[in-house]
Structure 1
Amino acid sequence: MALQLIAAIVELCPVLRFDREEVLFGAAIYDVGKTIHPDELSQPGSRHEQAGYELLVESGVEYRLARFAANHGTWTAPDISTEDLLVSLADKIWKAKRVPDLEDRLIQRICDMTGENRWQVFMNLDDVLDRLAQGADARLAFQNQYPVAAKG
């Protein structure tokens, strides 16, 4: 999903600057903490976020990259990067979950960097996200065929 989102964002807004490799890395590792908290594979929870960050740092991953594990569930920090927003958005749109606050932050970032009209950016991004969200039911149904139960 992150790869598709990046391609769509680049097409939508070619002047928006962000590190594509960082987004792809973040999208690949953001849920690694669920190896420590496997119950959060099948049910909501946020314990995996800090656990994943600590696991990555202890394994030698740079703090600047390990952060994706810790912050993919929140995007309200004033210094949140475009890369962080894109990783969080890819996570949400994979399951067709639309999060207005997250989307608004990305829209504002695009407008701030490009000077484009907010309404136009909103409409364009909305179309992109609707397109990317298609197929979420099938993705989730496939995932649910393999439930994970924590061993006692």
Structure 2
Amino acid sequence: MPSEALRRALSDPGEPPLRPLPDEVAALLDRLAASPRLAAHLRAVHDVAGTLADWLEKRHPEVDFDRKATLFGAAIHDIGKTIHPGELSGPGSAHEQAGYELLLSQGIGEKRARFARTHAAWGEDVGVEDLLVSIADKVWKSKRVEDLEQLLVDRLTVASGLSPWEVFMALDDVLDLIAADADGRLAFQARHPVDG
């Protein structure tokens, strides 16, 4: 049974309303006695990743990506902060590899566990799913990272045959809409304690 604070972080609807985490992830957070703040953060990023996946399916149906993997990746990307809780409120990257190894130890396959590593180390060799998780992990709080966004624009330009400018403008529009709700997501996360 999760702590009361963790249960609230997993079930509080939020404002704006946030999607619930997948049951598998909620159960994992409970087993690991995760911080309610971490659960709230994962919900915010997961929700933004869902919005990006919705946009991608509508705007670029020609792009082959794994929606379910994207949403799972967003829901677990910072799971290593259960091992490195200091990185919940401070800088650090030790949680990335630790999260990957933790997920493997919990029976999560490498293909899904990778998001714990790739969410902060994107590059030419990562998939669209990884880029969506990385962008969601930035824009949920209204942070924009030009190099990261350009990687996604490049992939979508090749897949769609549209001009880079058209792809950029459409992505920029959806990211601006998502960023407009950042204060609500930040307030949601702040309502949930680091210790719980």
TM-score bracket for the superposition, by shorter chain length? over 0.9
Q: Is 1:44–2:91 an aligned residue pair?
A: yes
Tell me, yes or no, if the aligned pair for 1:22 and 1:65 is still in contact at 8 Å.
yes
User: Equivalents in 1 of 2:139, 2:174: separation in Å?
Assistant: 10
Tell me, yes or no, if the aligned pair for 1:16 and 1:110 is still in contact at 8 Å.
yes
Query: What one-letter code is carried by the residue in structure 2 that aligns with 1:101?
Result: D
Q: Deviations over 1:124-145 (max 9, x none)?
A: 1100110111111121123223
Classify the secondary structure of the residue corresponding to 1:73: coil
The equivalent residue for 1:13 is: 60
Identify the match of residue 153 of structure 2 among 83, 92, 107.
107
User: Equivalents in 1 of 2:138, 2:162: separation in Å?
Assistant: 25
Classify the secondary structure of the residue corresponding to 1:74: coil
Runs of 4+ in 1 over 6 A off after TM superposition: none
Runs of 5+ unmatched residues, structure 1: none
With the length of structure 2 as denominator, give the TM-score of the two structures. 0.72
Identify the match of residue 125 of structure 1 among 167, 171, 194.
171
Q: Is 1:73–2:120 an aligned residue pair?
A: yes
User: Equivalents in 1 of 2:169, 2:53: separation in Å?
Assistant: 17
Q: Deviations over 1:16-59 (max 9, x none)?
A: 11010110110111110010111111112111100000001111
User: Equivalents in 2 of 1:17, 1:133: separation in Å?
Assistant: 25
User: Equivalents in 1 of 2:61, 2:125: separation in Å?
Assistant: 22
Query: What one-letter code is carried by the residue in structure 2 that aligns with 1:32?
Result: I
Query: What one-letter code is carried by the residue in structure 2 that aligns with 1:126?
Result: D
Tell me, yes or no, if the aligned pair for 1:49 and 1:69 is still in contact at 8 Å.
yes
Q: Deviations over 1:65-91 (max 9, x none)?
A: 100001100112x32111111111111
Runs of 5+ unmatched residues, structure 2: 1-47
Deviation at 1:147, TM superposition (A): 4.5
User: Equivalents in 2 of 1:61, 1:143: separation in Å?
Assistant: 26
The equivalent residue for 2:188 is: 142
User: Equivalents in 1 of 2:179, 2:162: separation in Å?
Assistant: 24
The equivalent residue for 2:101 is: 54
Tell me, yes or no, if the aligned pair for 2:118 and 2:126 is still in contact at 8 Å.
no
With the length of structure 1 as denominator, give the TM-score of the two structures. 0.92
Query: What one-letter code is carried by the residue in structure 1 that aligns with 2:94?
Result: R
Aligned length: 148
Deviation at 1:148, TM superposition (A): 2.2
Deviation at 1:146, TM superposition (A): 3.5
Query: What one-letter code is carried by the residue in structure 1 that aligns with 2:118?
Result: N
Tell me, yes or no, if the aligned pair for 1:42 and 1:147 is still in contact at 8 Å.
no
